[in-house]
Structure 1
Amino acid sequence: MSRIALKTLTAAVLGAMALNAQAAEYEWTFQTSETSGEPQFEIKKAWADEVEEKSDGRIQIEILPVNAVVQANQTLQAVRSGILQGHLTDPSYFTGQNPAFGMLGNLVGAWGDPNEFLGFMREGGGEELYNELVEPYGLHLIGAAATGLEALPSKRPIRTVDDLKGLKLRAPEGMVYNIFEKAGATPVNLPGSEVYTALEKGVIDAADYTVFATNYEQGLYEFAPYPNYPGFHSLPMVAVSLNKDIWDSLPDDLKSMLESTVDDMADEMVAKLKELDQEAVEEVRQDPDIEIIDMSDEERAKFRNIAKEEWAIWAEKNEMTQKVYDAAVAYLKENNLM
C-alpha cells in the first residue's frame, strides 16, 4: 500500500472513530403513544434521524412504541426518574397528576385545525405555560406537535349534537369524557387497543379514537360506517419533552437545533396526516356502505358551547388550569376563532 493510500485509509478510520465517539455523547430513549407502524410513529422516527444528522451524530434517539418500557400514563414519571430520557405523547394521560395536563393536551372543541392549536402553543403562550406546568415534574417541553382533528367512527349517523344522546362512545377519562357526557352520550373508558373489538362486538356504538386515515386502515368503518370528517371534537397535543436535568446541561446550539427540528416535525405531522386523511376519504367515498358526515357549522357551534361550559368548570380546579383557560380563550378571541 502506498504512503498516500495509507494516509487516506488512516484518515477514514480516524474520522469514523470520531463520529462514533460523537454518537455516544448523548444517547436517549423516547417512548411514544403509538404502536409501531402507525403514521405518527414513523414521523417521530424520522425526527430522531434528523436530530442525529443535524447534530453531526452527537445525539442519538431510540424511538419506542407505546407500552414498550412503561404504560402510556406512566411516561411522565419514567422520564423524571431517568428510566426514559424523553417522550412524545399526549399530555392528557397525566390529567390525574394535574387537570391542566388535560386542558393543554386536548381542549376539546376549541380548535378547528391543528395549525390553530400550534399557533396558540408557539405564539399564544401555550409552550411557556406547558413548561411552567411540567418543569416541576422534572421535564422540559422541547416543543409541541399535534395530530389532525380526530374523526368519529359511529354505528349510527351523528349529524347533530342531539344524535349523541344515548350513544355508547369510547372516550378517555378527563375533559373529553365529561364533555361527551354533557352532550348526552354515554362515555365508556377503554384503551385504544380495544376499540376495534369493542365496535365489532357492540360494546360501544362509536369511538373518539385517532384520525380518519388510521381508523380506516384499522378497519373500524366495517363496524362503524358513519364516520364524522372533518372532526368536531378532539385534537390532541403531542408533547415532545426531555428530562429537565439533561435539557439544562445541553449547550445552546443543541437546544436550538432540537427546538427547530421539533417545529419541523410538527409541521410535517400536520401535513402528512392531512394528506393521508384526504387519500382515505377519496377511497371511502367509493364505498356505498360508508357515509362520511360533515357536521354543520351550526351544530359544531352547539358542541363548542357545551365544551366551553366544561372548560370554565375545569378552569376553577387550580391556579394553572385558570391560566390555561385564560390564555386559550384570549387567543381564540384575538384570532376570531371564538
Structure 2
Amino acid sequence: MSKIRFRPVAAISGIAAAVALSTSLSAQASQLWKFQINVNAGDEQFKIAEEWAKNVAEKSDGEIEIELLPSSSIVGNNETLDAVGAGILQGHITDPSYFAGKNPAFAVYGNMVGAWSDPYQFLDYMRNYGGEERYNALVEPYNVHLIRAGAMIPEALITKRKIETMEDFKGLKIRAPEGMVSNIFQLAGAAPVNLPTSEVYTALEKGVIDAADYTVFATNYTQGYHKYAPAAAYPGFHSMPMMGISLNKDIWESLSAEDQKMLEDSVDEFVDALYNQLTEADQEQVKIAKENGVTISTLSPEELKKFRSAAQQEWNNWREKTPAAKDAVESITAYLKQNDLL
C-alpha cells in the first residue's frame, strides 16, 4: 500500500486562489473540468471513465469537456474532497472511504463490509431509499455535490478450500486489512492475518494464509493465485466499494436543470457500463478457471443473511462514532431488513 501523503490546508488554499477562475465558469460558456479518479491510467475502470467523459462532451454538444486524471495526479486520493470543494479539481471519481478521517460515515457509505452482494442492491438504496440525499448532506458542507453514486463489483475471495457456509470460515487464516474487513471476518469465525498485498502470493505458497481478501476475480486469476489457492468464493459478498462521482457544488448549482439531468443520466450509463464490462471480464476468467480445475462456490442467500448478522456487531461499532455514521448504518440496516437481506 502506498503511503498517504498530506498537504497543509494552507497549501491547498493557495493553489485554490491560483485557479479560482476555473471554478467561476459560466454555465453558458464552454467548460473544461478536471476530474481525478482513484485508479491508474492503465486500469479498466479508467478506460471506462474516459468513455463517460467522451459521452458527456457529446451529450453537451461540446459545451462540457472533462479531462480525466489518474490517481494522485494533482493531489493525493485522501485530498480530493477538499480539492474539489476548493476548485483545484472540478470533480472526482473515488471511494469515499479515503475521507473516513473527516467523518466515519464516509467509510460506511464507501464500503459497509458484508452488507452488499450485488452493486444494484447498493444503488437501489442510494437512488431510491434516500442514500444519495444523506450522502450529499455529508459532502455539501465541503462544497461538493454527488452527481450520482456508482459501485464496483463485489470482490472475490481466493481460498484453499470451498466456502459455502458460515462454518467454512472457522479457523480460516485469511489475509485482510486491519479495520472493518478484518473485524468482520473475525466475527464470522476466521483468523485474519494483516499482510500487504505484495506478500499474498508467497503467503499462500508457504501456508501462512489459507485465503485472501484481495480484489475482483479476473485480477486474482490472471495473477496466478489459483496455483496455491485452487478455490474461490464467487460471486463475492464481503467487499464492494462505492464509487462516488462528484462535482464542485458551485459549478453544479450554476448548471441548468437540463444539464444536471444530463450529467445524472450519463453517470447512470457509466455505472452500468462499468458493471457490465467488469462482470464480463470476471465471467470469462471464471470459465477458464473452472476448465483448469478451480472450484467455484459462494454463500447461499440464507448463509449471506448469517454473514450479515455476524457483521452487525462491527457495523454497530461504526454506528456509534458520529451522528452521520449512525444515520448511515441505521438506514442501510433498515434497507437490508426491508428487502429480506438481513
Q: TM-score range by the shorter chain?
A: 0.7 to 0.9
What's the counterpart of residue 261 of structure 2? 256
Listed as ranges, the matches of 1:201-280 within 5 Å are 205-280=210-285
State which drifts further: 254-263 or 37-46: 37-46
Distance 2:66 2:159 in 1: 38
Partner AA of 2:90 in structure 1: Q
Partner of 1:93: 98
Describe the superposition over 1:140-183 as per-residue Cα deviations: whole angstroms up to 9, x where unpaired. 10101111121011345444434445545443454223212333
TM, length-normalised to structure 1: 0.83
What secondary structure is seen at the aligned counterpart in 1 of 2:215? coil
2:132 alignment counterpart? 127
Counterpart check, 1:75 vs 2:80: yes
Which residue in 1 is equivalent to 2:31?
A: 26
Compute the displacement of 1:90 (Å). Answer: 1.2
Q: Does 1:48 align with 2:50?
A: no
Give runs of aligned pairs for residues 1-338 of structure 1, distance below 5 A: 25-165=30-170, 167-187=172-192, 205-288=210-293, 290-338=294-342
Q: CA contact under 8 A between 2:232 and 2:296: conserved in structure 1? A: yes
Larger radius of gyration: 1
Distance in 1 (alpha carbons) for counterparts of 2:247 and 2:144: 6
Which runs of 5 or more residues in structure 1 are unaligned? 1-21
Over residues 176-204 of structure 1, what are the superposed CA-to-partner deviations in whole Å (9 max), with x where a residue is unaligned?
Answer: 23212333445455666775676567775
- Could you tell me how far apart the structure 2 residues matched to 1:51 and 1:195 are? 39
Q: How far apart, in 2, do the equivalents of 1:120 and 1:161 lie? A: 26
For 1:258 and 1:136, locate their aligned partners in 2 and report how far apart those are by CA, in whole Å.
21
Of 76-85 and 310-319, deviating more is: 76-85
Aligned with 1:66: secondary structure? coil
Write the letter of the residue equivalent to 1:31: Q
Deviation at 1:282, TM superposition (A): 0.9
Sequence identity, in percent? Answer: 56
**C-alpha contact 1:23 1:60 (8 A) present in aligned 2:** no
Q: Select between 183-192 and 218-227 the one with higher mean Cα deviation.
A: 183-192
Check the 8 A contact 2:154/2:238 in 1, yes or no: yes
Compute the RMSD of aligned alpha carbons. 2.7
Partner Cα separation in structure 2 for residue 104 and residue 37 of structure 1: 26
Cα distance between partner residues in 2 of 1:136 and 1:269: 29
Q: CA deviation at 1:82?
A: 2.9
Letter in 1 for 2:180: M
- SS state of the match for residue 227, structure 1? strand
What's the CA shift string for 1:199-256, capped at 9, x where partnerless?
A: 5677755332332123223433344332210112112111001122222222322211
Which residue identity is paired with 1:130?
Y
Letter in 1 for 2:145: H
Using the TM superposition, name which of 315-324 and 29-38 deviates more.
Answer: 29-38
Instruction: Provide closer, same or farther for how the CA distance between residues 168 and 84 of structure 1 changes in structure 2, counting only shifts above 3 A.
Output: farther
Q: Is this contact kept in 2: 1:87–1:240, CA < 8 A? A: yes
Q: d(CA) in 1 for partners of 2:38 and 2:207? A: 26
Range that drifts further, 200-209 or 308-317: 200-209
Displacement of 1:336 after TM fit? 2.7
TM-score (norm 2): 0.82
The Cα of 1:54 is off from its aligned counterpart by 0.7
What amino acid does structure 2 have at the position aligned with 1:94? F
Q: Secondary structure at the match of 1:68?
A: coil
Once structures 1 and 2 are overlaid, which stretch shifts more, 189-198 or 154-163? 189-198
CA 1:284–1:244 in 2, change beyond 3 Å: closer, same or farther?
Answer: same
| Alpha-carbon distance in structure 1 between the residues aligned to 2:116 and 2:39 | 22
Q: Cα offset for 1:114?
A: 1.2
- Greater shift in the superposed pair: 107-116 or 157-166: 157-166
1:332 CA drift (Å): 2.1
